[in-house]
Amino acid sequence: MNSSVDGRLARLRGSLPVDEPGARGFERVARNPDCTRLRALTIVGIDSATAAVQVYGEPAREGQSPFAIAIGNRFDRAMAENGAAELLELYRTAGRLTTEECKVVIVPDMVPIGSRRDLKHVMAVRQTITQKLLEQKLRRDPKAPNIIVKPRVLVTLLGLDHGIEPDVLVASDSDAFYRPVEIKSYPDRAGKTESADIRSASRQAAVGVVALRNIACRMGVRDVAALVPALGDLVLRIPGALKPTLRPMTLKGEVDSLERAIQEAPSNLEELEEMLPAGSALDDPLVLESIPNSYRSSCREYCALAQHCKQAAVANGDPVVLGDVARETLAAAGSISRALDLARGTGAPPRTPAEQALAEQLREAMNEYREAV
Amino acid sequence: MEHRGSDTILSVSTPVDKIRSKISEVIRAKQDALQKMESVLSDAAATPAALDEAQSEVDHLTAQWSRLIHELRVVQFESPERFGAHRNRAGQRPMREQILDLLDELGVPSSPRVISEYAFACLGIELPIARFASLRRDEERGYSRDSSSKPAWVVPALNSTGFAPIPRLVAISVWPIERRLIGPRTLRVNHLKILLALIGRVDTLGPDQEATRRVLALIFRFARSVPGAGQGVGEPDLGRIRSAAEAELQAIGPTDDIERAQAAERLAKLPPDRQVWGLPPMIKREPQVDYKVSG
Amino acid sequence: MSAAGNGKIPELIANEAVTAVLKTQWDGEPAVRLDSPPGAGKTWVVERLAVQSMELHREQCMISTQTNEQAFDLARRLASGFPNRTFHLFVRKGLLLPDVLNGLPNLATIRSGNDLPVGPSVVISNAAKWSWIQNPPLFDLQIVDEAFQLPDYRFQQIAGLARRFVLVGDPGQIPPVVTCEIERWKCDRAGPHVACPKALTERHPGVRRLALPVSRRLVEDTVRFVQPAFYPDLPFTALSNNGGRRLRLTTPVSGRASADSALDLVAKGASLCMVELPAKITGEVDEEVAVTIVRMIERLFARRATMVEDGLTRNLDPSMIGIVCAHVSQVNAIRERLPANLSDVFVETSDRFQGLERQLMFVHHPLSGRADASTFHLAAGRLCVMMSRHRVACWLVGRTGISDRLLRHAPSGDRTLGIEEDSEFEGWRAHLSILRKLADERRIISVQPGN
Amino acid sequence: MAGEIDLVARLLAFESGKALRVASHLHVSLQPHALVVCPLAMAGEDTTIHTVAIGHVGKPPEFRSVPDPRFREDEYGLFTWLADRIVAYFDGCRSRGDFPQIWVSSSPAAALLDILADRLRYNRDDLVVKRFGELLSYATERFPVAGQQALMTATGALRQHFATGQQEAEDEHLGTVLVWIEPPAGRNVLAEVAATELIPMGAKTDPTFDRQVLDPLVRDYNQARRKNADPKALARRAQAVHDVLVNVVRPVYEGTQRAIRILGRLNLPPLPALAALDERERDEFQNFMQSRDAGFHLPLKDKPKPAAFKLADREDAMDNMESAVLHEDRLGRARARLAGDVLRGTVRNPRKVHLGPWRFEYSLEVVSQQRVLRVRRRDELSLLLDTRLKAVVTDIQRHGRTTTVSLRLSSGGRAVGLPHAGEVIELGPGAPDWLGIIRTRVQMAERLNNPPWTHSDSGIPSCKPQDGGAPRDLLGVLEGLR
């Protein structure tokens, strides 16, 4: 089954290379289930940024500032330095690891990128090392490490293996298996922390949980949900310092929506192939445009196609341009111009009872507005 | 937030004419960037991306051009100073020797960053971390050509299970096997041993106040994760840090030694070259099982 | 007879639980948190605690409720239940009392703090009124009713009035409404905005916790749906089994109107079923759902339905029927279509329905006709209140397509650092488990808007 | 259904390509001496200011920046420079008995000031910076409270008065809101908005700008500093960074000033509640400064008692603000009418029954055609025209679209008099009670002066069992008491 799926996916990709989405790209498959376009791109293995630039010819906008990348790298390195001393201290003060539980393995140190000839080989070696360590833990070997920095695990989506590198895996000797840790250089401001940051960090940790469940399943574990509960740790940064804070999180909602997306992927691939004319590929703008999207106000947060979808929504007067509440309320009217006709009583009279009620509602609001201004 | 500037040292050793040729290059590049911009503007079918592309190209080159002008003015007016700091300070002894001495002082396999910080703190020498990668390859080539040509080689530490080399942890080939092995707890044990070595080194620094301040700063950073080191409360004293570090070492050191000793016995059975350079890790092809969602 | 757990009949288990709660006062427990599922007789326990405290322990007891209505309802039940004991109702000057209270001789009304009774007594008032009392006496026992609707910062203002506390409430219902910004306390599990029993247990894990294991209101069939969805960690059973409460439709049906098949399903013993209209996105106000609910009620009266409750048969009366919706606009749409003779049917939002019950209930499903499910509509507490008000039967009315709207739902709700509860996911899980169970037991009937 | 008026306004704005006014009164008090602060942080470095533009309303800005905000000394130089202006402005306001008002472009800028205040006010090594953090904390602690006038965001203020033809989330960008309010003649407003969206108006510079222009310049400066080149070269490179940053922050400053000018030019009558809000702000400011002089601590985490006071304050402020807008702003009134919070109808058979000497009972019925009505039995409503007249709902009957609400007056019968039949009246929630919070605080202080064990971290008190055990059949005994 695997080779045929690869062939089908490669055909759908056309001239575009396969992007390794990593956790950040992978969780997009569950982000907007109604948006078939984003889901198709993710299943086929194309990143939305690549699509925006290569297919729609939009200027590349998605990028992180070099200063943000610098602080991110420095914070990651500070956590892994000196045998992950900072992380050990963090988990000791939180009472999660005792002094004896200080077994650390730093995978990138064992297989640094520079030392080998090509990247594929390095990744394969890291995967093998991680596999051995996880097997060690499954055998409840006392020497199994408590902290693994930057392991590499596979998540299969439609037979296509995506390499996922959770920042850290942590487990005390008494834990049955590891728990993924997501390290983010966002400042931890308790209640004032950006909710969009928490959401994306929790989703990426959830990809870690799904990856661990995937590899546990390959290692013959039957009840993966019991072995790897939907839990993860967020390590954020104390504002203004390079010191970490530990926030354990339950990820039931995020893991559940991810697993549902993976489960539906095969049927999505069939749908996609039925929807497109034979032999067409996603690198052709017309084909991509023909796949239905579902533009929401939250798309700007994670998808590079948001600008393009907005222009399309404006072009055909889709009420979502005025926000999600407008989209739902004006659903009966279908478009902004129709809604305005109903409000003013111009144009075709209301056809359905729903349009009748909406017309009445809008007319009433229009009069109140005119009177009051 | 304390910050010691970025890590990589950009060694600028371009004399005046070199900058001038660079500037003329940039000017030519800018001219054809402007032509490209004009052609994009004239043809109607150009996508906004192309226009943006040309525009950012021009911006980029202008920024580069103004920077080089700065550079030219700086170089012309200042007395030519030899850049490349790391060469004039560490001039007399090749880097390889210095790393061997530092490793002896540290006593355990250490990462390039720790060695470089230790060298700068104690001796004020700057050892750029980027140089370690090339050093590692030279040592490997040198050893394979003729292993007896040098008394001691800078070699990677070895993982105690499977004996895979760990390139980012360097050791000395003449060290006994168990000292070059890294068991599950060894990273933590070595961290504590380095901390104790640093504390020991403080009183050997003598009158050099600057070095003492740097070493103390390094000690406090290393001691942050040691329970009972009493960080942050008043003036931290070395005595308490030393006893705390020794206590933790006492707790985990013995088990680590035993593990490494057992691994050393197994490694001793291998041919001498493998005892120094370890065994490359095998890549396992795992079976293709589709992941069924539980529950 | 549906035996629960250790084989005893539910009545016995219920009494044992209440006795255990009453006994805590004999041990002098400083604080007791009593979690009770819907219709488990919370007020019944509050009454006994109050009378025990006054009569047996000769103590001064105060009861704090959330609203005046709850205070009046409690005062009426206490005064009529114990005719020869005097009770006191503490209200502000000028507040109009319902006339049913004026006729009770043993209920004294107090209007100001300094004529509170001295010596053993029971005084009932709402939490806001208690917090404005001037130089109050120190009561021995304070019972807080519907405690899960009282935010912690309000409980703090009345906690100083008594030595011992009993906090009684239903954990599954709608959490206290705080409208202002709470970013300063969002990560604090014992924050001022949290429901007071949760905050108390968080601050003092040692507080005694009890639970009422039997629901007097819900029938066995409903408990099988409600308990796993909304109270996974508070197991409880029904007091009366299915036979005890039935709806009977005396006249057979002439035409085969599909709305009637839903009524027949209930007549055959189902206590929960769903009526689904064709799929359509309608936003908040949905005329066809309102029309369907009103027609079903009219059909009930047209077929001269009678109510059998624990052996007592009564003709169906409009006051036995309740309709609950998520939005006020939906409530108004239904009231607009109710004929004059059905004006006694109680139509309200779920927030206002807390603590009340009716024999028959109609629910305008909160997710019906919505384009996407927000945290407000997914809230488990809202659906729990809606589906636990009926003594005999409940009909959910909504559009088709809710379950696949749920399956295509991506969690977009906001998470808080370090707080385990993800209310959006709990709500999503509860909604889906209810719909799946209804579908599995073929309790979903599709209806055309016409008939 | 909430938000219908705003939905219609957005529809019309989208159609006409120009934002529409959605307020009949001015909702914010424009302090003539307000201070406009536009800080820009370095991406990823959350508690730094790379450059700032500061200036009073209507005045040209002063710019100040640091080449690399990651160096503590330069950064503290900027904070001290900023502190002088803020301290001078705050002290000036205090001496005049007035309150300071700080304007920022949008909520990310407010969040940046908030994170700075939360950190700098605990600074131990520089007193001037500590003072700066403390004063800034006044504005940032007042920001989440409804109706506050201390820290205003240009986007927030404009959104209270205008409805644009775009999504709520897109209103966070000041540039796009300004384009909608004053669209350029003859240009497609949506294209203009798409172009304006690229210009940063929040608190961070654009990543592409960082990569191509800012990062190389900062890197040069660092390099020169590390080789401790002579001060002239250092100054030149610092100047290069400064010039580039000024071009980024100037449009943010001008946009904020323009927003204030637009609000001023609306010359709408100020909301009557603004007088009370200003008064409240003055008191809060004086109390804040007094407690700073007394050296009270500004905690990040609250104990139960202070948390209770703060939450009660915020709830009271929110309720008063909502009822103020409902009573005093015609559009607020229209919103409430559509949402059903206000009952509007014609009076029917008003009755005045004589109960006894000087005691009359007034009752009336109101017949309304409103589609949605949130009024319920036992609710107390006041006459919006004259809030002294209060009535309690005794019964609600709805037949089709007409709802008949019967009410009994609970006060104001004599003072205001019964409305006569056929008159159209409006009843709704009571007028805002601006002094209520003072009585609440006094009462809470009295109730909470010794915190109960339930809200302190002293353990659970011991059980004090009743003398004599419980009777065996407790339930039976209780039944016997009936």
Same domain, C269 and C356: yes
Q: What is the average per-residue pLDDT within B234-252?
A: 84
pLDDT at B288: 43
pLDDT digits (tens, 9 = 90+) for A180-189: 999 999 899 9
CB contact under 8 A, C281 and A188: no
Average pLDDT in chain C: 89
What pLDDT band is residue B6 in, cutting at 50, 70 and 90? very low
pLDDT at D99: 96
Range 44-83 of A in CB contact (< 8 A) with D: 61, 63-72
Of A328, A185, B247, the residue nearest D42 (C-alpha): A185
Distance from CA of A365 to the nearest CA of D (A): 5
Q: What is the average per-residue pLDDT within B89-97?
A: 64
In the structure encoding, which two tokens stand for residue D167, read together? Answer: 């999504």
pLDDT at D181: 94
Lookup result for tokens 């807008």: D325
CB contact under 8 A, B291 and A217: yes
In the structure encoding, which two tokens stand for residue D308, read together? Answer: 């209770």
CB contact under 8 A, B282 and A144: no
Sequence letter at residue B245:
A
pLDDT digits (tens, 9 = 90+) for A170-180: 999 999 999 99
CB contact under 8 A, C158 and D447: yes
Partner residue opposite D44 with nearest CB, options A65, A339, A362: A65
| From A95-109, C229-243, D122-136, D426-440, the region with the lowest mean pLDDT | C229-243
pLDDT at D250: 94
Query: Chains meeting A at 3+ CB pairs closer than 8 A?
Result: B, C, D
- ipTM score here? 0.84
A30 — contact with chain B (CB < 8 Å)?
Answer: no
pLDDT at B1: 31
D397 — contact with chain C (CB < 8 Å)?
Answer: yes
Sequence letter at residue B106:
L
Q: CB neighbours (10 Å) of residue A204? A: 24
Of C354, D235, C330, C282, the residue nearest B74 (C-alpha): D235
CATH code for position C339? 3.40.50.300
Distance from CA of D222 to the nearest CA of B (A): 7
Residues of chain D neighbouring B73 (CB-CB closer than 8 A): 236
Q: What is the average per-residue pLDDT within D451-463?
A: 89
CB contact under 8 A, D310 and C184: yes
For chain D, the domains span: 3-302, 342-428
Distance between CA C180 and CA D143 in Å, rounded? 12
Distance between CA C414 and CA C186 in Å, rounded? 11
Q: What is the average per-residue pLDDT within B60-72?
A: 71
Range 138-177 of D in CB contact (< 8 A) with C: 144-146
pLDDT digits (tens, 9 = 90+) for D380-407: 999 999 999 999 999 998 888 899 999 9
Residue A344: partners with Cβ closer than 8 Å, 6 or more residues away:
A363, A366
Range 378-437 of D in CB contact (< 8 A) with A: none
- Of the residues D14, D176, D268, the best mutation for testing chain A's interface (the one with the most A CB atoms within 10 Å of its CB) is D14
- Residue D15, classed as helix, strand or coil, is helix
Residue C189: DSSP 8-state: T
- Ordered DSSP codes for D330-363: HHHHHHHHHHTSSEEEEEEEEEEEEEETTEEEEE
Residue C303: partners with Cβ closer than 8 Å, 6 or more residues away:
C249, C250, C251, C253, C260, C263
CB contact under 8 A, D46 and A239: yes
C438 assigned to some structural domain: yes
Of D5, D330, D271, D292, the residue nearest D147 (C-alpha): D271
Partner residue opposite C422 with nearest CB, options A193, A250, A324: A250
Residues of chain B above pLDDT 90, percent: 15
Sequence letter at residue B33:
A
pLDDT at B91: 46
D451 — contact with chain C (CB < 8 Å)?
Answer: yes
pLDDT digits (tens, 9 = 90+) for A297-348: 888 888 888 888 988 888 888 899 998 888 888 888 888 888 998 888 888 8
Cβ atoms of residues A169 and A231 within 8 Å:
no
C1 assigned to some structural domain: no
What backbone torsions phi and psi does residue C349 show, to the nearest 5 degrees? -80, 165
Residues paired with residue D162 on neighbouring β-strands, in sequence order: D21
What pLDDT band is residue B4 in, cutting at 50, 70 and 90? very low
C342 assigned to some structural domain: yes
The better pLDDT of the pair B89, D37 is held by D37
Considering only alpha carbons, which residue of chain B is nearest residue D208? B56
pLDDT digits (tens, 9 = 90+) for D304-334: 999 999 999 999 999 999 999 999 999 999 9
pLDDT at C102: 86
C112 assigned to some structural domain: yes
Partner residue opposite B293 with nearest CB, options A59, A125, A263: A263
pLDDT at C124 over 90: yes
CB contact under 8 A, D210 and A323: no
Cβ atoms of residues A330 and D4 within 8 Å:
no
Q: Which domain holds residue C379?
A: 241-446
Taking the CA atoms of chain C, what radius of gyration do you get in angstroms? 23
Cβ atoms of residues B46 and B40 within 8 Å:
yes
Q: Which residues of C48-70 are buried (b: 16+ CB within 10 A; e: fewer)?
A: bbbbbbbbbbebbbbbbbbbbbb
Lookup result for tokens 């007879």: C1
Cβ atoms of residues D165 and D14 within 8 Å:
yes
What pLDDT band is residue B76 in, cutting at 50, 70 and 90? low
Q: CB neighbours (10 Å) of residue A8? A: 17
Residues of chain A neighbouring D43 (CB-CB closer than 8 A): 64-65, 67-68
Range 43-82 of D in CB contact (< 8 A) with A: 43-47
Q: How many residues does chain A have?
A: 373
- Ordered DSSP codes for D128-186: HHHHHHHHHHHHHHHTTSTT--SEEEHHHHHHHHEE-SS-TGGGGSHHHHHHHHSPPTT
Distance between CA D274 and CA A110 in Å, rounded? 66
Residues of chain A neighbouring D45 (CB-CB closer than 8 A): 67, 71
- Burial of D190 (C-beta count, 10 Å sphere; 0-12/13-18/19+): buried
- Of the residues C126, C163, C181, C184, the best mutation for testing chain D's interface (the one with the most D CB atoms within 10 Å of its CB) is C184
Percent helix, strand, coil in chain B (nearest 5)? 60, 5, 35
Residue B204: partners with Cβ closer than 8 Å, 6 or more residues away:
none
Alpha helices in A140-251 (DSSP H): 195-218, 224-227
Residues paired with residue C143 on neighbouring β-strands, in sequence order: C63, C166
In the structure encoding, which two tokens stand for residue B63, read together? Answer: 């920024």
What pLDDT band is residue A91 in, cutting at 50, 70 and 90? very high
The better pLDDT of the pair A266, B200 is held by B200
Of D292, D426, D265, the residue nearest D347 (C-alpha): D426
Residue B193: partners with Cβ closer than 8 Å, 6 or more residues away:
B106, B107, B108, B249
pLDDT at C283 over 80: no
**Listed residues C170, C193, C213: the one ending a domain:** C213
Of A81, A184, A93, the residue nearest B221 (C-alpha): A81
pLDDT at B89: 37
Lookup result for tokens 């039957």: A222
C406 assigned to some structural domain: yes
Domain range D342-428, its CATH number among 2.60.40, 2.40.30, 3.40.30, 1.20.1060? 2.40.30
Residues of chain A neighbouring D14 (CB-CB closer than 8 A): 321-322, 336
Considering only alpha carbons, which residue of chain C is nearest residue D456? C203
Residues of chain D neighbouring C157 (CB-CB closer than 8 A): 308, 444, 447-448
Alpha helices in B156-237 (DSSP H): 177-180, 186-202, 209-223
pLDDT at C200 over 80: yes
Q: Which DSSP helix (H) or strand (E) runs through A157?
A: strand A153-157
Distance from CA of A87 to the nearest CA of B (A): 8
C236 assigned to some structural domain: no
Same domain, C349 and C258: yes
CB contact under 8 A, B225 and A110: no
Same domain, C126 and C19: yes
pLDDT at A291 over 80: yes
CB contact under 8 A, B286 and A129: no
CB contact under 8 A, B74 and D216: no
Distance between CA A80 and CA D310 in Å, rounded? 41
Residues of chain A neighbouring C404 (CB-CB closer than 8 A): none
Same domain, C167 and C306: no
CB contact under 8 A, A260 and C187: no
Q: Which residues of C219-230 are buried (b: 16+ CB within 10 A; e: fewer)?
A: bbbbbbbbbebb
Distance between CA A253 and CA A260 in Å, rounded? 11
Considering only alpha carbons, which residue of chain B is nearest residue A211? B291
Lookup result for tokens 């807080």: C144
Torsion of CA C434, C435, C438, C443, to 10 degrees: 140
What pLDDT band is residue B85 in, cutting at 50, 70 and 90? very low
Residues of chain D neighbouring C56 (CB-CB closer than 8 A): 477-478
Sequence letter at residue D362:
Y
Number of domains observed in the structure of chain C = 2
Number of helical (H) and strand (E) elements in chain C, helices listed first: 16, 19
Torsion of CA D109, D113, D119, D124, to 10 degrees: 140
Sequence letter at residue C425:
F
pLDDT digits (tens, 9 = 90+) for C20-75: 999 999 999 999 999 999 988 888 999 999 999 999 999 999 999 999 989 999 99
- Ordered DSSP codes for D397-427: EEETTEEEEEEEEEE-HHHH-PPPTT-EEEE
Strand pairing category for C31-35 and C208-211: parallel
CB contact under 8 A, A256 and C417: no
Partner residue opposite D208 with nearest CB, options B5, B56, B70: B56
Distance between CA A38 and CA A29 in Å, rounded? 7
Same domain, C260 and C382: yes
D268 — contact with chain A (CB < 8 Å)?
Answer: no
pLDDT digits (tens, 9 = 90+) for C384-430: 999 999 999 999 999 998 988 888 887 776 788 888 888 888 899 99
pLDDT at B233: 54
pLDDT digits (tens, 9 = 90+) for C293-349: 999 999 899 888 898 887 888 899 999 999 999 999 899 999 989 998 888 899 999
Q: What is the average per-residue pLDDT within D461-481?
A: 86
Of A234, A206, A236, the residue nearest A71 (C-alpha): A236
Partner residue opposite B225 with nearest CB, options A1, A89, A240: A89
Same domain, C375 and C441: yes
